[in-house]
Amino acid sequence: MNTTDPQLRSWIESANAKDSAFPIQMLPWCSFRRAGSSELPRLGVAIGDVILEVKKCVEAGLMRAIDPVVGEALCGRTLNPLLALGEAAWIEARASVAELLSEACETLRESNRWRKRAIIPADKAEFAMPVEIGNYTDFYASLHHATNVGSMFRPDNPLMPNWKHMPVGYHGRASSVILGGTPIRRPMGQSVAKEGAAPEFGPSAALDYELELGCIIGTGNALGTRIPVGEATRHIFGYVLVNDWSARDIQRWEYQPLGPFNGKNFATSISPFVVQRHALEPFLAAPPKRAKGDPKPLPYLVAEEDRSLDIRLEVLLSSAAMREKGLDPIVVSTSNAKELYWTFAQMIAHHSSSGCNLRPGDLVASGTISGKDDDERGCLLERTWKGEKPIKLPDGTKRTWLEDGDEVIMRASCVKRGARTLSLGEVRGVVLPAE
C-alpha cells in the first residue's frame, strides 16, 4: 500500500474532510491514556478527530500480517522499542495501521466490539511523552537566525569562521525535555543589568521562545563508528515540533566561554505527535543553494540524495488578558524548514563524525528557524530586535520578552499541489511566575 497516496481514504469519516489535520496519509504516533483514568500510557495513532489504540488492535489479532516482534514493540508505552527495530519495522507498522484504517478494510470497521475499545475521541485523550529521550542535541542550522543574532552582537562579523563549514550545535538537557502543554516556570539565574555591572540572582527578565523542528533518532550507531551522510536519513524515525525556551539574560552572562547552560536547560517542549518520516516523503525539497563565495562542504557532509523538508511553521502568542477577553492568539512569525542551511542528514553525519554514538529516541533539533523577512524571525530576540521593535498585542500591551501568563503556540503544516495537506500538530506552553 502506498500510504501517502492522496486518493487513499479511511472509514474514519473525519479523516476524509478536506480540512482534516490528520488524514490517513499522516498517521502520527503518540502515547496516551483516557483522560481521567489511571491507565498506563500506551501507543496510539491519530487519524481525523480520534486516536487509535494500537495495542488493543495487536492483542485482538486485528493486525494479523504484522511480524510478532513488531507487534510486541507496538504494545509498549513509548516508541523506543519500535525505533530500535529499524526502518523495515517502521514501514511495516505504518502500513499495517494504514491498511486497518483504510476504507476498503472491514476488519476493525465491522467489529463493533473492538471498534469501541480501540478508538476514542482525541479530546478524551490525555497525552504522554511519545519517546523516552536519552540525549538531546540542539543545532544552530538557520543562516538567517545565525546572521541576525550575530549582527546584534558582532555587526562587523555576524557569522563565526566555522559556521558555513559545519553544522554548529551543543548538547542540551534531556531531563527537561517536556510534553507540549506543560506549563513553563520562569527560570531563576544570574544576570547583569548592564555592561560592567555586578551580577544579580533573580527571575529571568528576558524569557524567549525558539521555533524549531526536531528529529527523533531511530536506529543509532555504535560508539566509535560514523553515520555516512548518504545513509543518515534512514536513521531518522520521525519529526516533532520543538520550542526550545531560552532565558536570554541568563544566557548572555553565562555564554562565554563554554556556551549554553542554565539559560537553556530549564525547559524544551515537544509536540505530542511524532510524524513518521515516511509520511513526509511528498514534501521533500532540494536544500537551499549556497551563495556565491560560500565554502563547499567537506566530502563527509555531501550526498546527492540529501533533501530538505518543505514544512510551513508559525508562532502564535496570546496574553492572559487576551484569553480573558476571548481574543484569538495572534501570529507573530512564520517560516519554513526548507530554509535551513544545514539538513538533518548533515547534522547527524557531523554529530557522529567523531564516533559519537546516537541511540534510539535521541532528539536532534534544528535550532531556531528564521526566514529573511522581519515577520519570519523565529524568536523574540530577533522579532523585536533585542527589544527595539516591540510587538503590539490586541489587549493594548506590548512584548519585547515573554511575560507571566503568556501562551506560546507553535504549529506546522505541509502543503503541496497533488498531495494531501498534513499537519504536524502543535506545541503549546503557558509561562508561570518564578518561584
Distance CA 228, CA 301 (A): 8
Closest by Cα among 137, 136, 131, 301 to 227: 301
Asked if 287 and 302 touch (Cβ cutoff 8 Å), the reply is no
Question: CA-CA distances (angstroms) from residue 196 to 255, 258, 323, 344?
Answer: 16, 20, 40, 40
| Active centre residues (catalytic) | 145
Chain mean position to CA 357: 21
Distance CA 28, CA 387 (A): 38
Asked if 37 and 120 touch (Cβ cutoff 8 Å), the reply is no
Asked if 14 and 28 touch (Cβ cutoff 8 Å), the reply is no
User: Which amino acid type is present at position 380?
Assistant: L
Distance CA 412, CA 13 (A): 23
Where b means 16+ CB within 10 Å and e means fewer, 322-349 reads bbeeeeebeebbbbbbbbbbbbbbbbbb
Chain mean position to CA 11: 29
Extract the runs of DSSP E, i.e. beta strands, from 29-74.
Answer: 29-34, 42-47, 50-53
* DSSP sequence for 143-188: HHHHHHHHHHH-TT--S-TTTTTS--EEE--GGGEEETTS-EEPPE
C-alpha cell at 28: 502520527
DSSP structure class, residue 417: T
